[in-house]
Amino acid sequence: MTLSTCIREYVRHRRSLGVQFHGEQVQLSAFLKSVGDIALTAVDAEAVRRYVDGKGPVTNAWFSRFHTVAGFYRFALARDYTTSAPLPPRPPKPPAEFIPYIYSEADVRALLTAADARHEDDWLVLPQTVRTLLLLLYATGLRISEALALTMADVDLREAILTIRETKFYKSRLVPIGTDLVDVLVRHRARQPTKSRRTDAPFLSDRHGRPISRQTAELVFKRVREQAGLERPACRTFRPRLHDFRHTFAMNRLVSWYRQGKNVQRLLPHLSTYLGHCSVKETQRYLCMTSELTMEAGLRFLKYAIPGGSHEDA
């Protein structure tokens, strides 16, 4: 069996399980290009290592390539397409754990002020659209791709519901939103030309009425972030990103539940569903411990450990 044939079969198998597998397919295509379309059993460890190592330093991308190739070989071994997996025997030390940026209310205000201060002629995406996008991400925790894919038909402002269609794992879901965000979206829709309000039109569009690409959104956010003065903290290796709004939403929801005295463990599956995750395990990666969350969790523990006690000064 050739490498290309086995890869095609593996991709079909993964997609039959409901996994989109786009990123992994791209990696396996690059693996095929690097090694050549030779017999699967002829692929040696040196060729695999050459692809996995790439040309740069060891980053999370190294481990992403490694795990994709390892998953492919597990599939091939299970079906007796090969008798060995020529993987690197000793993976290098992983890079420092990525810590997302959690936006404070002051950060969000600074970003909105920076967006409002820009001149419309300088933007492919109008300032008011940038403001709407930032508030939408902050208030819902949507993936940036989900927010940009919304059409007019997907935004039901009367029922305060967003319809997120066939995103990761081919799942669709309904996302309820609060009154403050509804007001923001109502104002945004009212500013759109009549021809841009047809049901299949993008809810968030550029100045020409076209859907906003991920690349354009990231570039616009980079400029807004620089204008707002949000820099990389000294202890971090990454600057604040659009995707960090998703982390921020998850953290804010947990802090809110702790303050309300809710059973957070029982509510976590609801948060997973809201975010479009298949399980709580996927959601956990969005829940890094901030000082605020640590404090709220500590107060909750005190209320449990010392019933009836006063913890206002804790």
Q: What is the pLDDT of residue 190?
A: 92
Sorted by sequence, the CB contacts under 8 Å of residue 72 that are 6+ apart come out as: 6, 7, 10, 28, 31
Would residue 89 count as lying in a domain? no
Mean pLDDT, rounded, for 32-48? 94
In a domain, 90, yes or no: no
Calpha distance 302→273 (Å, rounded): 29
Provide mean pLDDT across the span 293-312: 47
Instruction: Let me know whether 160 and 211 are in one domain.
Output: yes
pLDDT band at 237 (very low <50, low <70, confident <90, very high): low
Confidence label for 165 from pLDDT (cuts 50, 70 and 90): confident
Kindly indicate the confidence band of residue 60, based on its pLDDT and cuts at 50, 70 and 90.
confident
Q: What's the mean per-residue pLDDT of the chain? A: 85
Q: Which of 78, 96, 117 is the last residue of a domain?
A: 78
Positive or negative torsion for Cα 190, 194, 196, 200: positive
Is 70 exceeded by the pLDDT of residue 44?
yes
pLDDT at 58 over 70: yes
Query: Is position 54 within any domain?
Result: yes
Do 154 and 162 contact (CB within 8 A), yes or no?
yes
The full DSSP string for 208-233 is TSPBPPHHHHHHHHHHHHHHHT----
For residue 113, the domain's CATH number is 1.10.443.10
Burial 87-115 (b: 16+ CB within 10 A, else e): eeeeeeeeeeeeebbbbeeebbebbbebb
0.85 exceeded by pTM: no
Instruction: Fill in the amino acid letter for 285.
Output: R
Range name among 24-33, 249-258, 273-282 with the lowest pLDDT average: 273-282
What is the rounded end-to-end Cα distance, in angstroms, of the chain? 66
pLDDT in tens, 197-211: 788 899 999 988 999
**Cβ–Cβ < 8 Å for 296, 261:** no
**Mean pLDDT, residues 223-240:** 83
Which of 78, 95, 130 corresponds to the end of one domain? Answer: 78
Which residues are annotated as catalytic? Answer: 143, 168, 243, 246, 277, 286
DSSP string over 141-170: ---HHHHHH-BGGGEETTTTEEEE-S-GGG
Domain assignment present for 223: yes
More confident residue, 263 or 5: 5
Domain check: are 248 and 166 in the same one?
no
Same structural domain, 155 and 249? no
CA atoms of 134 and 113, how far apart (whole Å):
11
Neighbours of 301 (CB within 10 A): 11
Phi, then psi, of 142 in degrees rounded to 5 = -60, 150
**Containing structural domain, residue 282:** 244-305
Identify whether residues 200 and 136 lie together within a single domain. Answer: yes
Asked if the structure places residue 235 within a domain, the reply is no
192 within domain boundaries: yes
Per-range mean pLDDT, top range of 105-109, 170-174, 251-255, 291-295: 105-109
93 within a domain of the structure (yes/no): no
Residues 145 and 218 in one domain: yes
Q: pLDDT tens-digit profile of 90-111?
A: 777 766 666 788 899 999 999 9
- Number of separate domains in the chain: 3
Q: How high is the pLDDT of residue 130? A: 95
Between CA 29 and CA 23 the distance in angstroms is 10
Average pLDDT over residues 227-253: 85
Do 299 and 193 have their domain in common?
no
**Mean pLDDT value of segment 222-249:** 86
Q: What pLDDT score does 287 carry?
A: 65
Tell me which DSSP letter residue 199 carries. T
CA–CA gap between residue 208 and residue 248 (Å, rounded): 31
The structure tokens 């993987």 sit at 87
DSSP 286: T
